[in-house]
Chain A
Amino acid sequence: MEQTTTKREDISSIDYQEFVINMGPQHPSTHGVLRLMLKLKGEIVEVVQPHCGYIHRGIEKMCEHITYPQTIHLTDRLDYLSAHMNNEAVCLLVENALQIEVPERVKYIRTILDELTRLASHQLWWCAFGMDMGALTTFFYGLRDREKILDIFEKTTGSRLIQSFNVPGGLMNDIHKDFQKEVKEFIKYFRKILPEYDQLLTGNVIFQQRTKDIGILTKEDAINFGVTGPSGRGSGFSCDVRKIAPYSAYPYVKFEEKLQTKGDTFSRYMVRMHEMWESMNILEQLIDNIPEGTHAVKMKPIIKLPEGEYYQRVEASRGEFGVHVISDGNKTPYRFKLRSPNFMNLSVMHHISRNHKIADLIAISGSLDLVIPDIDR
């Protein structure tokens, strides 16, 4: 395979036509405190150097000092838009390590919540992406629909964004009695609304021209850089953990892994749009078949993982989220390592946005859908 890594270019040497500009840490479209140092030649971006760490909280280190159930409230705060999946990774890891079989009901509810989280996350991505492109109205349409999911979350889990709903061994509490009805109502509603998204943004000629053939990431590069999730699938890299290593109720459902081959910004966009449809399909398969049972198995008050190394990955909304735990048999992990998808996705930034314009850089970073706390951890 061709060696595609790019060497880190020196940003300090600039000629008289070039200049260096700091995009961030406070910039409207870096969605948080990401700092991109750009070397520009007029409008053309020559070098992108991401500087992260502005929101570094040392979560991995913090996790070494707290018990397994307590880590839940920290993994929530990585990629806050896929909080539920992150929690699920930790819970699955603990359950697998202790060889606990959770009730079917738990698996179903977890999967349903996973897909709802993915939908909510993609909705937010869609509206923020539109806003990055200058279509400000998309922002409100996306948020309006996301609000409906958050209400469903709130009714069952008590929180809207970071739910801390998963616990090792099951769920915090059982679902609300209206849960199924509301999810079904939402799907009905959103199936009607989603074509509107397409009319407003996808089909728009300005939008298409701004995204097509921009920021092309080849399949090889996606694999080399470890770009996963919708961003990787936009390049044709089949990396859906739900398919490769099914967990929870994913083995029971039929769904397609949506792949695009071109790898440009528009492909990444389309993958996410298709995934929204696909999420609704998955939800429809599960929502009526939630088996009866308890919402959690009884766990020991103090969870100790047997000595050894454990790895569990799940498909978060932005890619493969992995938890790697080295346990020395204590109630706290010896080492807690997180594989956060956004960090990998950010790493291709320079590679794919070189020689594009500033406006393209914004489109590319929007299509990678970065969540900064997940990068910095």
Chain B
Amino acid sequence: MPFNIYDFSTFTQWIHEALTSAMSPFWVVTLEILFVGLAFLLFYAVIGLFLVYAERRVCAFMQCRLGPNRVGFQGLLQTVADLIKLLFKELITIKYADKLLFNIAPFLVIIGSFLALAAIPLANGLHAVDLNIGVFYIMAVSSIGVIGILLAGWSSNSKYSLIGAMRSGAQIVSYELSVGLSIITMVVLAGTMDISEIVELQRGGWFLFKGHISAFIAFIIFLVASTAEINRGPFDLAEAESELTAGFHTEYSGIKFAFFFLAEYMNMFIVASLGATLFLGGWMPFHVPFWEGFNTVMDWIPPFVWYIAKTGFLIFIIMWFKWTFPRLRIDQLLTLEWKYLLPFNLFNVLLMALLVLLGLHF
């Protein structure tokens, strides 16, 4: 078995060939889909649970607390225990709720984040689909989640939920723009939308360093805008527990609530992955030109570790935002987008185009 931790493509290739030699193409595809689906489901659950734990620990340390530390080693199993508890909880449905939409909403939210995960390369050659419009695809599917949020707010037939959903609508419509533009800036630099190619282009140096100030601005805007897009603090207006108790998921309980919760963390993971891929070189090790010794050492670290480390770093920054800042008001939120981020962004795209045209990037 040609298993190589530095390059998974030979491994996947090998599986594919082994299967093809054993059965008809139809079964090969079916089996592969099943296998990938299962693997991702597992990955999704593990990452989601771990992120909840990580968030609780990070915020605890920032707040001079310990956080969960009783269940399992250093509290690692705390979220598993919580999940089991949530599974046993009663699923309350409100009498005047729109039953169908009410039940669909959590799944829509989950589906959005699940689909987006498919196109992200987790390591060299380790991704579900290698689309040539990967960036575009992620942008597209990740906005499915907001439909779930809107539906949840609408179908709960509760005023708090409705206000939360409306806020989230306004928020996503405007921030999608900023995320999109900052990604476009990077696409201009890369000249392709194929994620694996974008990663490959960063072999010599990450885009964050390659693209001068322009990439840096895009990175900051991307961080801010995507934090807003995934409804996390300080942009958690849709939830705003001190204003709307729990916003759009006020009326949900048990495992359906857990779905919303999990989706929030997975969205964070996806956004961080995308950021890591576009700006920090995905699974690509950190290279400094002309430092051969240093580069070899960096190459020793497996790509998956690089990827997780970068994503983890971005996730930490997003958490750091949440646990430091007060929440924005809805009009401030829109002011920030339309008055500050958007002009900066448009200017930035132009700047980047100029840089690329003049060949000023590295």
In whole angstroms, how far apart are the Cα atoms of A264 and B204 in the complex? Answer: 55
Contacts of B327 in A (CB 8 A): 133-135, 206, 359
Interface residue from B167, B243, B324 paired with A137 (Cβ < 8 Å): B324
> Are A43 and B326 in contact, CB atoms less than 8 angstroms apart?
no
> Are B159 and A359 in contact, CB atoms less than 8 angstroms apart?
no
Q: In B316-362, which residues have CB < 8 Å from any A CB?
A: 323-332
Given contacts A206-B234, A206-B328, A207-B326, contact A140 B64 (CB under 8 A): yes
Contacts of B163 in A (CB 8 A): 43, 358
Bitwise interface map of A from 348 to 372 toward B, beta carbon under 8 Å scored 1, else 0: 0000000001111010000000000
Contacts of B194 in A (CB 8 A): none
Contacts of A43 in B (CB 8 A): 163, 167, 330
Q: Which residue of B lies closest to A21 (CB)?
A: B159
Interface residue from A40, A132, A359 paired with B329 (Cβ < 8 Å): A359
Contacts of B331 in A (CB 8 A): 357
> Are B245 and A27 in contact, CB atoms less than 8 angstroms apart?
yes
Contacts of B324 in A (CB 8 A): 135, 137, 200
Interface residue from A29, A135, A357 paired with B326 (Cβ < 8 Å): A135
Bitwise interface map of A from 34 to 65 toward B, beta carbon under 8 Å scored 1, else 0: 00000010110000000000000000000000
> Are A209 and B59 in contact, CB atoms less than 8 angstroms apart?
no
> Are A210 and B326 in contact, CB atoms less than 8 angstroms apart?
yes
Contacts of A29 in B (CB 8 A): 242-243
Q: In B3-36, which residues have CB < 8 Å from any A CB?
A: none
Interface residue from A130, A131, A134, A201 paired with B234 (Cβ < 8 Å): A134
Q: Does A14 contact B (CB under 8 A)?
A: no
> Are B326 and A204 in contact, CB atoms less than 8 angstroms apart?
yes
In whole angstroms, how far apart are the Cα atoms of A362 and B328 in the complex? Answer: 12
Give the dominant DSSP class at A's interface: helix
In whole angstroms, how far apart are the Cα atoms of A134 and B330 in the complex? Answer: 13
In whole angstroms, how far apart are the Cα atoms of A130 and B63 in the complex? Answer: 13
> Are A134 and B240 in contact, CB atoms less than 8 angstroms apart?
yes
Given contacts A21-B160, A135-B324, A204-B325, contact A141 B64 (CB under 8 A): yes
In whole angstroms, how far apart are the Cα atoms of A267 and B65 in the complex? Answer: 31
> Are B160 and A137 in contact, CB atoms less than 8 angstroms apart?
no
Q: Does B197 contact A (CB under 8 A)?
A: no
Number of residues from B at the complex interface, CB < 8 A: 30
- Residue in A29, A136, A137, A210 with the greatest tally of chain B CB atoms within 10 Å: A136
Q: Does B241 contact A (CB under 8 A)?
A: yes
In whole angstroms, how far apart are the Cα atoms of A248 and B289 in the complex? Answer: 74
Contacts of B236 in A (CB 8 A): 134
Q: Which residue of B lies closest to A366 (CB)?
A: B242
- Residue in B163, B326, B331 with the greatest tally of chain A CB atoms within 10 Å: B326
In whole angstroms, how far apart are the Cα atoms of A200 and B62 in the complex? Answer: 12
In whole angstroms, how far apart are the Cα atoms of A136 and B233 in the complex? Answer: 10
Contacts of A133 in B (CB 8 A): 242, 326-327
CB distance from A30 to the nearest CB of B (A): 10
Q: Which residue of B lies closest to A360 (CB)?
A: B329
Q: Does A255 contact B (CB under 8 A)?
A: no
CB distance from B246 to the nearest CB of A (A): 9
Q: Does A144 contact B (CB under 8 A)?
A: yes
> Are B233 and A134 in contact, CB atoms less than 8 angstroms apart?
yes
CB distance from A367 to the nearest CB of B (A): 13
In whole angstroms, how far apart are the Cα atoms of A204 and B59 in the complex? Answer: 19
- Residue in B59, B65, B241 with the greatest tally of chain A CB atoms within 10 Å: B241
Q: Does A291 contact B (CB under 8 A)?
A: no
CB distance from A196 to the nearest CB of B (A): 12
CB distance from A241 to the nearest CB of B (A): 32
Given contacts A28-B242, A131-B242, A140-B65, contact A357 B323 (CB under 8 A): no
Q: Does A250 contact B (CB under 8 A)?
A: no
Contacts of B64 in A (CB 8 A): 140-141, 144
> Are B330 and A136 in contact, CB atoms less than 8 angstroms apart?
no
In whole angstroms, how far apart are the Cα atoms of A204 and B180 in the complex? Answer: 28
In whole angstroms, how far apart are the Cα atoms of A200 and B236 in the complex? Answer: 19
Contacts of A311 in B (CB 8 A): none
Contacts of B166 in A (CB 8 A): 42
Q: Which residue of A lies closest to B160 (CB)?
A: A21
> Are A210 and B63 in contact, CB atoms less than 8 angstroms apart?
no
In whole angstroms, how far apart are the Cα atoms of A29 and B245 in the complex? Answer: 9
- Residue in A19, A134, A137 with the greatest tally of chain B CB atoms within 10 Å: A134
In whole angstroms, how far apart are the Cα atoms of A140 and B61 in the complex? Answer: 11
Contacts of A206 in B (CB 8 A): 234, 325-328, 332
> Are B63 and A140 in contact, CB atoms less than 8 angstroms apart?
yes
In whole angstroms, how far apart are the Cα atoms of A210 and B325 in the complex? Answer: 12
Bitwise interface map of A from 199 to 237 toward B, beta carbon under 8 Å scored 1, else 0: 011001011011000000000000000000000000000
Contacts of A144 in B (CB 8 A): 64
In whole angstroms, how far apart are the Cα atoms of A171 and B223 in the complex? Answer: 57
Q: Which residue of B lies closest to A22 (CB)?
A: B159
- Residue in B63, B167, B325 with the greatest tally of chain A CB atoms within 10 Å: B325
Q: Which residue of A lies closest to B235 (CB)?
A: A134
Contacts of B325 in A (CB 8 A): 134-135, 204, 206
- Residue in B167, B240, B329 with the greatest tally of chain A CB atoms within 10 Å: B329
In whole angstroms, how far apart are the Cα atoms of A314 and B114 in the complex? Answer: 61
CB distance from A147 to the nearest CB of B (A): 11
Q: In B92-139, which residues have CB < 8 Å from any A CB?
A: none
Q: Which residue of B lies closest to A208 (CB)?
A: B326
In whole angstroms, how far apart are the Cα atoms of A209 and B325 in the complex? Answer: 13
Q: In B166-221, which residues have CB < 8 Å from any A CB?
A: 166-167
List of 9 A-B pairs having minimum Cβ-Cβ separation, nearest first: A134-B327, A140-B63, A133-B326, A135-B326, A29-B242, A359-B329, A134-B326, A132-B242, A21-B159
A residues engaging B (CB < 8 A)?
19, 21, 27-29, 40, 42-43, 130-137, 139-141, 144, 200-201, 204, 206-207, 209-210, 357-360, 362
Interface CB pairs A-B, < 8 A, 9: A135-B325, A137-B323, A137-B324, A200-B324, A201-B326, A206-B326, A210-B332, A358-B163, A359-B329
New A-B contacts (12) at CB < 8 Å, excluding given A134-B236, A207-B326, A360-B329? A21-B160, A28-B245, A42-B166, A43-B163, A43-B330, A137-B323, A139-B63, A140-B63, A144-B64, A204-B326, A206-B328, A362-B242
